[in-house]
Structure 1
Amino acid sequence: MIESEQQLIEAAKNGDRFTGTTPDQVVRAEQLRELLLGHHGDLHPRGLRLEGVRIEGTLDLDSAKVVVGMLFTDCVFDGPILAYDAEIPHLMIIGGQLAGLYAGAARVRRELYLREGVKFAGGDDAVIRLHAAHIGGDLDLEGVEVTCTTGSAVKADSLRVDGSMFVRGGARITGHSELGAINMIGAHIGGKLELNDVQVRNNAGPAWDCEDVRVDGAVSARDNARFAGHGRFGGINLLNARISKYFSLYRGVEVTNSDGPALYLNGIDVTGSVFFRDGIELSGEGPRGAIDLIGAALHQEIEFKDVRITNTTGPALCMVRARVEVGVYLEKRVEFSGNDASGTVLLRDTHVGGAFGIRSADADVRIATGSGLVLDLRNTSVGTTVHLPPGLVCPENGISTTCENKRLVRLDEFTYGNLGEGTDWRQWLHLIRCHTPAYHASAYQRLAAVERAAGHDGTVRRILMAQQTDLRRRNPDALSNRLTRLFHWLWGVLAGYGYQARRTALALVLVLATAGVLGWWAGQVTTRPGHLAAERVTSSTSAAGIPCSTVELVGLGLDRGLPLAMTGMRTRCDLDTGTGWGQAFTAAVWLVQLAVWGLATLALAGYTNLVRKPS
């Protein structure tokens, strides 16, 4: 046995570090295998520790039961480490270079560390293979450089880590696989999962693929982490992931995908909060959104703060059929940029248990759209407050009945508890009638319900009157024909669509006054010599007529105009219907009587709510 090999054995037994004495110090991989399998006697519990040496050959530990842990510092391996189905106390590779670590189905009782710039390159499938492996402690990939041009760089599907998993410290990971540069499909992490200050790239699939992953702690990416993926499963794929604490991207994270979502979070279930904050930039393409949160279940809040989310061929945020138990908040500088007929921000068929919108008055929220539709809130429910930032839809923040700005929202069947502080009901009414693509009764009815709950009955009437006006303006076909539309218009003018009975009563008084004026006027018009259109009733037909007094003439008009309640004045003073003028006044009074009938009916219906039915 050569002297260096004997020195290595002695170091292993004493727990000392074996350091190469020359730059090209060589240790045979076969000798390491013999040591690790206990062929040279008991080794120190501290484990086998080598520094600055070259491992000649391939270290083959497949299906082996390794007796002690391993620490390799700044070592160079001629080939990969083979540890499929192996049992290893612990493994730490600090710095150095090797072709790969093939440890599928391995069992590492404590930690597995690959740190401080260790470089992996090679392999026709994956360079680091940890599929179905079980790690009893933490898995830490700090500062690693992993490159694979024909597959995943890190293959860790069905991996189980009892502790936490870290990819950090300037790690650079590049793969080429539909299953991700980092493939963690179906993995289970007992602690937290963090990717901090990393660059992960994949031109054939997700940069980080965590489909069906289960994490008992939090999941986060931060400190200028960069993820570049490709395809329909996102730059980061967390499809159907289960996260027991929070999920967070913050402090300068960038995620890009030129052919799909930046974040594919379809069906994700997060027990804690979800945060996108502090300089986040997410860029995706396609109809599923830069962020795809379709069917997500978020048991706390989701917050967007100081973020920029872009999609040139679809929505920026697609949050359809999702559930958020607490709230959806837009804070500070938030920019959504999309181009989709459905809208830039889609919250369709979603339930929000708390509030939606901004929480601070200085929030700068911008939504850029190429389609005109900014928000799609159809069939969405907000449990408490909806508070859209001023100017989000209408830069003028107008309250008028018309608006030249064409930015639109969809509010069909959108329900909420109340409007946020500082949001005037007039502004929301302006939003409904000027910034929705079509008339829909539910938007008016919800606003009316909110104001009714606040005790603002006068406001409720104004809202419901605006609804009827908008119905005739934007959905005239619902009113059947031109005659029905004319009646609808008259109904609005004379009765406020049943919500202003006082207007009806005033119109009724004016019509009755008209009847009185007609009666008085008839007493001033001469029909033939000695006779007037209205004169004293007498049995003589040849004598000159006797004029009625002013009171009698006014009473005559009222008697003729009132449909039921007769004054009895016609027994003393009446119209001479045998003359043309008398007939004309009679016809005019009939019209007045018809108007009285109609107004009385509207007044009665208004007071009994018979015509207050939404359309």
Structure 2
Amino acid sequence: MTDIEQRLITAARNGEWLMCDEPDTVVRAGLIRELLLGRHGELDPRGVRLGGARIDGHLNLVRVKAAAGLTFSDCVFGEPIEARSASLPHLAFHGGRGAGIMADGLQVDGSLFLRRGTRFSGDEARGTIRLLGAQVAGDLDLEGAHITNTAGPAFNAAGITVGGQVLLRDGIRITGSGDDGALNLVGAHLASNFDMTKTEIGNATGPALLMANAAVGGFLSLADGNRLSGHGSNGTLCLSSAHISGHAELTDTKITNAAGSALFAHGVEVGGNLLLRKGLSITGHGENGALELFNATIGNVLETDGAEITNTAGPAFSANRARIGGALALLGTTRLSSREKGPALSLTGAHVADRFGGADTVELKVPEPNSLLDLRNMVVGVAVRLPSAVCPDLGRGTTCGHKALVRLDNFTYGHLATGWDWERWLHVIRCHTPAYHASAYQRLAAVERAAGHDGTVRRILMAQQTDLRRRSPQSLGGPMTRWFHRMWGALAGYGYRARRTAAALLLVLVAAGAIGWWAGQVPTRPGHLAAERVATGAPCSTVELVGLGLDRGLPLAMTGMRARCDLDTASRKGQAFTAAIWLVQLAVWGLATLALAGYTNLVRKPG
């Protein structure tokens, strides 16, 4: 036994560090195993603590049940460490280099540290550091570690259980390869927080950080200079079906993927808030979104405040069928951009229990004619306020120079937020939706009806019928039906302006009287007029002529004048006046029918 080995045995018994001064100091790997097995006497609980040594040979800790922990500082391992199913009070690496750690099923009663520039690199398909199903009672701390793998995951800890926090801080670099991710925490059970700052994780052929089906008992935080780059359909950061008990916050983090979504979080559950804050940059290239939250469940608020989300091939932000227990807020200088196929934000089928709103500073960009927002079948429990990017000039008319579009088919909401009155919302429906859809008008009318604004409701429903004729004329039928629809709108307000119909009816009756009087002024032959006394052919009085016109135009309310004064139907001019009276009579019948139907609601249809 060499002098250095004897000194290590003595230091381990006394709980002291053995710091090797010579750079090529060699310690046999087998001696470390023997110490942990108690073959050189009882060790101090602080365990084996070795620094600056080169470990010679294969450090085999498979199934070792040690009463003392193991700590290395700036040591070099020529071969991978094996610690499958081992049990240690603690395990720590502070600096140093190695070819990998194979530790499936490892149990650590305290914390597991890989810190201060520890470097492990390998080409093992199952991982450079492999902790499948491991159990760590304390923290898992990778502060400052550099881990790489050219053939698989750099850090593969699928199914790991961590009783404390997972800490990735201060200059960590993790580079892996393949579909299993660079850092794999699939199915992990983390009792406390997941905290990542100043970390770089890269994978040119798969996800960077894979946390599908993981459970985080505290908060999840990515902040302060993180950089994640990945490739492929599983996303760069994959949180699919993960469960986060507390808040999830992403700030000052860059996530990129040139061949898929950057943040893939189908079915994720967040018990608290999901906060996408200033400095967050998400860039993807996929038809489903750069940020995918399909079927996600957010316990409280989903908020973007200064985040920038870009997709070069589809929606920027997709949260279709998501369930949000609080509000969905787009705040600050949030930028959502779709460079090829929109929309910028897709929320089809989503349910927001509280408010949905966007600040005036929010930027939404899509190529024409894509929609900025897709809100089809979405439900907002309280109020809604669209970002002003939809119509920056706050339009209220029937035309608009802005081309931005919003999908509002079957979009349901409680009421409109301050700054979005019904006229502005009606403008959006008429000018900023890609096609006519009755549900948008009907919902707005229902909101105003609930507020007791019956006059406003009638104006909304008349605007609906006008838009129906303008953008979906084929649904009305042929040319005659469309003509009648137009006349119905002009004369009866589509059944919502019955007084207008009554006024038109009065005017027609006046016209009937005027025609009767006019006929009494037009000669047909010497001594005869188009309207004259029946018995003598003498001219009729003014009252008789007006009564004649009313008798002809309103047959249900006879004045009796036709018995004394009538049209001369034997003459051509008398026949012309007779035809004119018939047209008046037809108009009277039609207007009377519309007036009756308007008062009884018989002709009001949603369209």
Q: Counterpart of 2:366 in 1: which secondary structure?
A: strand
Is the Cα–Cα contact under 8 Å of residues 343 and 366 in structure 2 kept in the other structure? no
* Alignment correspondent of 2:334: 334
Per-residue Cα deviation, 1:547-567 (whole angstroms, up to 9, x for no partner): 333233222212221130112
Superposed displacement of residue 530, structure 1:
2.6
* Alignment correspondent of 1:584: 576
* Alignment correspondent of 2:606: 614
* Alignment correspondent of 1:378: 376
Q: 1:340 to 1:416 in 2, by over 3 A?
A: farther
1:454 pairs with one of 428, 444, 451: 451
* Alignment correspondent of 2:257: 257
Q: Counterpart of 1:282 in 2: which secondary structure?
A: strand
Per-residue Cα deviation, 1:246-305 (whole angstroms, up to 9, x for no partner): 22211x100000100000101112221111111110000011210111121222221111
Residues in 1 aligned to 2:61 and 2:317: alpha-carbon distance in whole angstroms: 48
* Alignment correspondent of 1:93: 93
Superposed displacement of residue 152, structure 1:
0.4
Superposed displacement of residue 341, structure 1:
4.5
Per-residue Cα deviation, 1:486-531 (whole angstroms, up to 9, x for no partner): 1111111111111111111111111011011111112212223333
1:464 pairs with one of 448, 458, 461: 461
Please list, as runs of the form range in 1=range in 2, the aligned pairs for 1:135-214 lying within 5 A after superposition: 135-214=136-215
Is the Cα–Cα contact under 8 Å of residues 330 and 363 in structure 1 kept in the other structure? no
Residues in 2 aligned to 1:271 and 1:429: alpha-carbon distance in whole angstroms: 36
Superposed displacement of residue 604, structure 1:
0.6
1:389 pairs with one of 384, 387, 400: 387
Q: Counterpart of 1:386 in 2: which secondary structure?
A: strand
Letter of the aligned partner of 1:522 in structure 2? A
Please list, as runs of the form range in 1=range in 2, the aligned pairs for 1:114-133 lying within 5 A after superposition: 114-125=114-125, 126-133=127-134
Letter of the aligned partner of 1:318 in structure 2? S
* Alignment correspondent of 2:563: 571
* Alignment correspondent of 2:280: 280
Is the Cα–Cα contact under 8 Å of residues 268 and 296 in structure 2 kept in the other structure? yes
Per-residue Cα deviation, 1:64-121 (whole angstroms, up to 9, x for no partner): 1122012212222232321111011111111122222221111111111111111111
Residues in 2 aligned to 1:74 and 1:183: alpha-carbon distance in whole angstroms: 26
Residues in 2 aligned to 1:455 and 1:389: alpha-carbon distance in whole angstroms: 27
- Any unmatched runs of 5+ in structure 2? none
2:361 pairs with one of 360, 363, 367: 363
Q: Counterpart of 2:570 in 1: which secondary structure?
A: coil
Matched, 1:289 2:289: yes
Residues in 1 aligned to 2:528 and 2:31: alpha-carbon distance in whole angstroms: 141
* Alignment correspondent of 2:78: 78
- Any unmatched runs of 5+ in structure 1? none
Is the Cα–Cα contact under 8 Å of residues 340 and 366 in structure 2 kept in the other structure? no
Residues in 2 aligned to 1:465 and 1:216: alpha-carbon distance in whole angstroms: 54
- Cα RMSD for the two superposed structures: 1.6
Letter of the aligned partner of 1:475 in structure 2? S
* Alignment correspondent of 1:400: 397
Superposed displacement of residue 427, structure 1:
2.1
Is the Cα–Cα contact under 8 Å of residues 340 and 370 in structure 1 kept in the other structure? no
* Alignment correspondent of 1:413: 410
Q: Counterpart of 1:201 in 2: which secondary structure?
A: strand
Q: Which deviates further from its counterpart, 335-344 or 98-107?
A: 335-344
Q: Which deviates further from its counterpart, 548-557 or 238-247?
A: 548-557
Superposed displacement of residue 243, structure 1:
1.4
Is the Cα–Cα contact under 8 Å of residues 338 and 370 in structure 1 kept in the other structure? no
Q: Counterpart of 2:602 in 1: which secondary structure?
A: coil
Superposed displacement of residue 340, structure 1:
5.0
Is the Cα–Cα contact under 8 Å of residues 85 and 106 in structure 2 kept in the other structure? yes
* Alignment correspondent of 1:525: 522
Residues in 2 aligned to 1:6 and 1:393: alpha-carbon distance in whole angstroms: 77
Is the Cα–Cα contact under 8 Å of residues 340 and 371 in structure 1 kept in the other structure? no
Q: 1:427 to 1:66 in 2, by over 3 A?
A: same
Letter of the aligned partner of 2:319 in structure 1? M
Per-residue Cα deviation, 1:128-162 (whole angstroms, up to 9, x for no partner): 11111111111111010111111100010111112
Q: Which deviates further from its counterpart, 56-65 or 230-239?
A: 56-65
Residues in 2 aligned to 1:371 and 1:576: alpha-carbon distance in whole angstroms: 64
Residues in 2 aligned to 1:331 and 1:59: alpha-carbon distance in whole angstroms: 54
Superposed displacement of residue 418, structure 1:
1.3
Letter of the aligned partner of 1:553 in structure 2? L
Matched, 1:37 2:37: yes
Is the Cα–Cα contact under 8 Å of residues 208 and 236 in structure 1 kept in the other structure? yes
Letter of the aligned partner of 1:449 in structure 2? A
Q: Which deviates further from its counterpart, 34-43 or 548-557?
A: 548-557
Letter of the aligned partner of 1:593 in structure 2? Q
Matched, 1:317 2:313: no
Letter of the aligned partner of 1:365 in structure 2? E
Superposed displacement of residue 370, structure 1:
5.2
